Amino acid sequence: MVSELTIQRPNDMHLHLRDGDMLKAVTPHTSADFGRAIIMPNLVPPVTRTDHARAYHQRIMAAVPKGHAFDPMMTLYLTETTDIDDLVNGVKEGLIKAVKLYPAGATTNSDSGVRDVTKIMPVLEKMAEINLPLLVHGEVTTHEIDIFDREKVFIETVLDPLRQALPDLRVVMEHITTKDGADYAAAGNENLAATITTHHLIINRNHILVGGIKPHYYCLPVAKREEHRLALRKAATSGDPRFFLGTDSAPHTTSTKENACGCAGIYSSLNTMSCLTEVFEQEKALDKLEAFASLNGAAFYGLAPNPQKMRLVKQQEPVSYPATIEVGNETVTTFDPGYPLHWRVENLD
């Protein structure tokens, strides 16, 4: 029985840090455990230009505690009026690492997103030319489509036609939640990858709805049936280089979660590596954890593994994480996997 595991320091390839007091409160939890993170651009207003990303990068670095080796990888929020020259300049500068496609209205702060894909084709063509990844929130938002079918329909009606039209475009299917998404990614070529969150490996839709509504398990894309959770676990623990960790850790204050119209998002940065190690142990795949958390995402972005290492140690007593963290005069509730965590994280030089 394995009781200790050493891996290269992991990367979070899909992360929300927000801004202001929230940014200052949550950034140290990520920078403590992760060497890099792909930073989501859905602020208010969104990060649509290189100068916005540069200023945001500076605010993030100001929130990183001294001694933490952390590289925030910046993205731009794709709109139907994205400036191609500005985007190219941001890439040449080395600042912009990807562009995020939000279908308008799909998730938090996505109202400025794309309504008509044909209007962004010139940008996508340039991205394919310069080898810049497109990160897609893969859901349709038309009212006649059931919320549990949004990902499947997006793949069929938007993503697959787009990839056929632009076969050289590198695409990351962000936070997949279905067997359909896992199967599509697994059947793709080297230009396609998919991130999987910590929480979608642990919860299904019963966790949200059975025994009363549980707002701290509500996220977008929403958790699906158990068959889909099991398919995600199979993909994550397979060692397939097309799958890698993107926590989609998305902090909201507790009061805005426990609300008549509660916000979508789960805050998992604080305990993700303990949670993930439990999952991989349950699946008898601890030998695949490093690939999923540390290697595959870096390789897709053409990066070397982080030089630092992380030790994960199994202990008899449960590891303790705070149920909430303070943000100004409010709190953010930490993701609760629903069972004790026994793997302790030790970051090594």
* Alpha-carbon gap, residue 22 to 19, rounded angstroms: 6
Strands (E), the chain: 4-8, 11-15, 36-39, 71-77, 96-101, 134-136, 171-173, 192-196, 243-245, 309-314, 324-327, 330-333, 343-348
Q: Which of 106, 59, 168 is nearest to 74 (CA)?
A: 59
Which residues have C-beta within 8 Å of that of residue 282, sequence separation ≥ 6?
none
CB 153 within 8 A of CB 138: no
Q: Which of 80, 83, 85 is nearest to 121 (CA)?
A: 80
Q: Which residue of the set 248, 287, 336, 349 is catalytic?
A: 248
Q: Which long-range contacts (CB under 8 A, 24 or more apart) does 205-213 make?
A: 205/148, 207/338
Vertex 227: Cα angle to 225 and 228 (nearest 5): 70
CB 194 within 8 A of CB 242: yes
- 10 Å Cβ neighbour count for 324? 13
* Alpha-carbon gap, residue 59 to 43, rounded angstroms: 13
* Alpha-carbon gap, residue 127 to 129, rounded angstroms: 5
Please confirm, yes or no, whether 248 is among the known catalytic residues: yes
Residues acting as catalytic residues: 248
